[in-house]
Amino acid sequence: MDLAPVADTEPQRLAALRSTGLLGSAADSAFDELVALAARLLGAPIAAFNLVDADRQWTKAGSGMANGDQAPRADSFCAHAIVGDGPFVVEDTAADPRFADNAMGLGFYAGTPVTAGGQRIGTLCVAGESPKALSADDLETLRVLAAAVTAHVELARRERERADEAGVLRRLGEATSRLARVSDAADLERDLCEAARDLADADGAILWTATSGGMLRATAAVGSDVVGAELPPGHGAASRQAFDGSERIYRVKSQLLGVAGWGAALFEPLAAGGRTVGVLTVFWQQEPAERPDRELSLIELLSSEAAVAIERTTTLFELEKLTRVDALTGIGNRRAFDEQLTRELKRSEREGNDVALAMFDLDHFKAYNDTHGHPAGDRLLTEVAAAWQDCLRATDSLARYGGEEFALIAPGCCERDAVALVDRLRAAVTEGQTCSAGVAFWDRGETAAELLVRADAALYEAKVGGRDRTKLASRPGTAPAPTEG
């Protein structure tokens, strides 16, 4: 049996077939009745509504066949019938060299295409083991019944599309609602990538956000490991072009300039408040048969909501940061210190490292203020904080604890190193002033408040002992209560 030709529009035809959701579906009484009517009116022992897939023929409804019957496409008469617009008739297969040896053992066949979205997805056909001549009326009957099958296919397809659309809009609503509730920037960025991938039925998504230095940085991704990559201004990458031009870019494989594993990609700018704050890149590993316009529209809607959410979380982050920064010195305040101390003690529980806590007090600060004035006192506090920042390790945390008092968390320090670090800080005090300090090591049993009490008691001892010195705290349970000094 000769193979049926395959049209250039085969990808579109298969896409239309998939859109119906009929392949592999359960029996449908409407199709069953139309097929039974075709068999009865045309006096055929076999009648069927067959769908032609990429490599097989699948029976949706049949008389003399069952729902789900299938055969290789190479053996399919219907594969020949979908090539043309009208009826395809073989009255005597034995007399036709193309079908004389057909594997189905048919003596005659007549089929008329059934369409979906303008594409021929299958046929309504009649057949039998013996040759049979069909009249013009028979063929008209077959055409009319095929039109009825097509109408029911279109009805089912549209209902499925409406259900899909409702589902997609629901998912979009859920995604945007989730973005609106998230206040943590990292969670928001990850959620955005996942929502974009799911909404577009894509393989991955990348969020690029603008940095203060003009770079475009990949801050979140799913289906890709590019997080941390940066694109400078003028870079040729499409993500950068979409950002610089504030314009959507959609490219297929031949236009992706060598991006491995991508068949198509969308580069959607995120604009809020009249400016572009980032780019959402969504990619598919296989190039879609057609431009995915619905998916592109969904990503555009999602991106509009995402840009607002990103602006909101950025603002919240800046405001939140202000509540943890001392306005005068620019270092952490007491709130930031308390939170960091809690984190460091929990980390110490997990990892077993030591934690040193030091409390500092500038000696005779009130006298300095009285002599030089409060602006000079503020300047001294600022200079000290800046000088101390230069002496610290990356893991250390310094805060202004109140007035002329400072606090330091130094994780991973032994006693000798902690005292040496504290003495370096005391030596760095500017304006010829001096500083007293108390150092306590966490015993893994006390609370953060109890550790602070011991460090503060050691500071008191340093001040009572003559100031301008470092004092190690006594063990828990033996620290004297600090008083004014």
Beta bridge partners of 469: none
CB atoms < 10 A from the CB of 412, how many?
17
Condensed to tens digits (0 to 9), the pLDDT of residues 153-174 reads: 998 888 877 777 666 666 666 6
- The full DSSP string for 109-120 is EEEEEEEETTEE
Structure tokens of 184? 């943590």
Q: pLDDT at residue 32 above 60? A: yes
Beta carbons within 8 Å of 326's beta carbon, 6+ residues apart? 332, 333, 385, 399, 400
Residue 46's CB: how many other CB atoms inside 10 A? 20
In this structure, are residues 208 and 216 in contact, taking their beta carbons and an 8 Å threshold? yes
Which contacts qualify for 282-286: CB closer than 8 Å, 24 or more apart? Answer: 282/196, 282/197, 282/200, 282/202, 282/204, 282/205, 283/202, 283/203, 283/204, 283/205, 283/206, 283/223, 283/224, 283/259, 284/200, 284/202, 284/203, 285/203, 285/261
And the tokens for 31?
């199709």
Residue 276 phi, psi dihedral angles, 5° rounding: -90, 125
Integer Cα distance of 190 and 369 in angstroms? 50
- Using pLDDT thresholds of 50, 70 and 90, give the confidence band for residue 483: very low
Residue 412 β-bridge partners: none
What is the model's pLDDT at position 322?
63
The pLDDT of residue 303: 79
Structure confidence at residue 85 (pLDDT): 86
Residue 406's contacts (CB-CB under 8 Å, 6 or more residues apart) are 359, 360, 361, 384, 385, 388, 398, 399, 400
pLDDT band at 384 (very low <50, low <70, confident <90, very high): very high
pLDDT tier, 479 (very low <50, low <70, confident <90, very high otherwise): very low
Q: What pTM did the predictor assign?
A: 0.46
Q: What residues does each domain of the chain span?
A: 10-161, 182-316, 334-472
**Rg (the chain; Cα; Å):** 38
Write down the CATH superfamily of domain 334-472.
Reverse transcriptase/Diguanylate cyclase domain (3.30.70.270)
Q: Tell me: pLDDT of 310 over 70.
A: no
Q: Does 182-316 carry CATH code 2.60.120.650?
A: no
DSSP 276: E
* CATH number assigned to the domain covering 10-161: 3.30.450.40
Q: Mean per-residue pLDDT for 118-142?
A: 96
Instruction: Give the whole-angstrom CA distance, residue 47 versus residue 30.
Output: 14
For 239-259, give one letter per residue: b (16+ CB within 10 A) or e. bbbbbbeeeebbbeeeebeee
Calculate the average pLDDT of the chain: 88
User: Is 182-316 in the same CATH topology as 10-161?
Assistant: yes
- Cβ atoms of 259 and 281 within 8 Å: the answer is no
Distance between CA atoms of 260 and 263, rounded to whole angstroms? 9
pLDDT, tens digit, 9 for 90 and up, residues 66-84: 999 999 999 999 999 999 8
Its sign, for the CA torsion 447, 451, 454, 460, is negative
Distance of CA 237 to the CA centre of its chain: 20
Distance CA 22, CA 16 (A): 11
Per-residue pLDDT at 294: 80
User: Helix, strand, coil shares of the chain as percentages rounded to 5?
Assistant: 45, 25, 35
How far is the CA of 376 from the CAs of 312, 370, 379, 425, 433, in angstroms?
38, 10, 5, 20, 12
Local confidence band at 149 (pLDDT 50, 70, 90 cut-offs): very high
Residue 474's nearest CA partner among 444, 443, 447 is: 443
State pLDDT tens for residues 237-258. Answer: 999 999 999 999 999 988 876 6
From the number of C-beta atoms within 10 Å of its C-beta (0-12, 13-18, 19+), residue 351 rates as exposed
- DSSP string computed for 157-186: HHHHHHHHHHHHHHHHHHHHHHHHH---HH
Per-residue pLDDT tens over the stretch 189-207: 888 888 889 888 899 999 8
pLDDT in tens, 273-301: 677 888 999 999 998 888 888 888 888 87
Q: What is the DSSP string of 129-157?
A: SS-----HHHHHHHHHHHHHHHHHHHHHH
Rounded distance between C-alpha atoms, residue 382 and residue 468, angstroms: 19
236 confidence band (pLDDT: 50, 70, 90): confident
Residues in the chain: 485
